[in-house]
Amino acid sequence: MARFSKIQTLAAMSTTGMVPVFYHKDLEIAKQVVKACYLGGVRAFEFTNRGDFAQEVFGELVKFAAKECPDMILGIGSIVDPATAALYIQLGANFIVGPLFNPEIAKVCNRRLIPYTPGCGSVSEIGFAQELGCDLCKVFPAGNVGGPSFVKNVKAPMPWSMLMVTGGVEPTEENLTSWIKAGVTCVGMGSNLFPADVIKAENWDAISDKCKESLDFIVKARN
C-alpha cells in the first residue's frame, strides 16, 4: 500500500516543483540515486518501469526509502495498462505516471485514491483526463508538443489545470524558469539530471548538488 495519501503526494510535487525520473536495473545504484536526490531536497521520485524485473527493483526500493528516506514519496512511471498499475500499487507506489492516457488506469488508481498522471499531448486529452479525476496531467513529450508556450496557452482558458512537463526539461536556470513562468505545477527530469558518466563514477554528491541547484532555480522563478 501507498505510505502517503493522494493529497500529500500532490502537495509534495507541487511544493518542490520537481520530480526526478530514473531507472536502473541495479538495485544498489537505484538506492544511491534515490538517497542522493533526497539529500538534495527532492521529496517525490519517479522510478520508471523500463526493464525486465523492474518491479522487483521497485519493491526493494520502496522498503529502502521507508527506512533511509522517510519523507520521500516514490511513484512509478512508464505505465500504459491497468494491470501493471495494479501491480505497482501493491508494491507501494504512491503515484502512477504514464506516457499516454489510458482511462482504465484512472479507474484502478481512483479506486485506491492513488494519483494518476497520464501523458497528454493535446488540450482535449488533458480535458478528458481531468474528467476522469486526473488532478495532475503530464504534458509529454513537452519539448515537442509546444514547449512552455503550449503550457501558457492551455492555462489561459483552463487556469485550474495542474500540469507536469517531461521531455525537454533541463537543469538550467533558463530552462526551468521558462517552464515555471509558463505555469507548470512541476517538472519531470530524467537523463539531464543523471548524466551517464556521473552514474558510472558513482558521484552521488554531484547528483545531490544538481538537485539542490535545480530546486533553488525553481524557487527563484516562483518568486
Q: Which of 27, 30, 21 is nearest to 199 (CA)?
A: 30
Q: What is the mean pLDDT of the chain?
A: 97
Cell numbers representing residue 80 in the block = 500504459
Note the pLDDT of residue 139.
98
What are the tens digits of pLDDT across the range 21-62?
999 999 999 999 999 999 999 999 999 999 999 999 999 999
Q: What is the CA radius of gyration of the chain?
A: 16
pLDDT tier at 149, thresholds 50, 70, 90: very high
What is the CB-side half-sphere exposure of residue 188 using CA atoms within 13 A? Answer: 29
| Number of continuous H segments (helices) and E segments (strands) in the chain | 10, 9
Residues shown for the chain: 223
Note the pLDDT of residue 40.
98
Note the pLDDT of residue 202.
97
What are the tens digits of pLDDT across the range 183-207?
999 999 999 999 999 999 999 999 9
| CB-CB contact of 161 with 130 (8 Å) | yes
List, in order of start, the domains of the chain with CATH numbers.
6-214 (3.20.20.70)
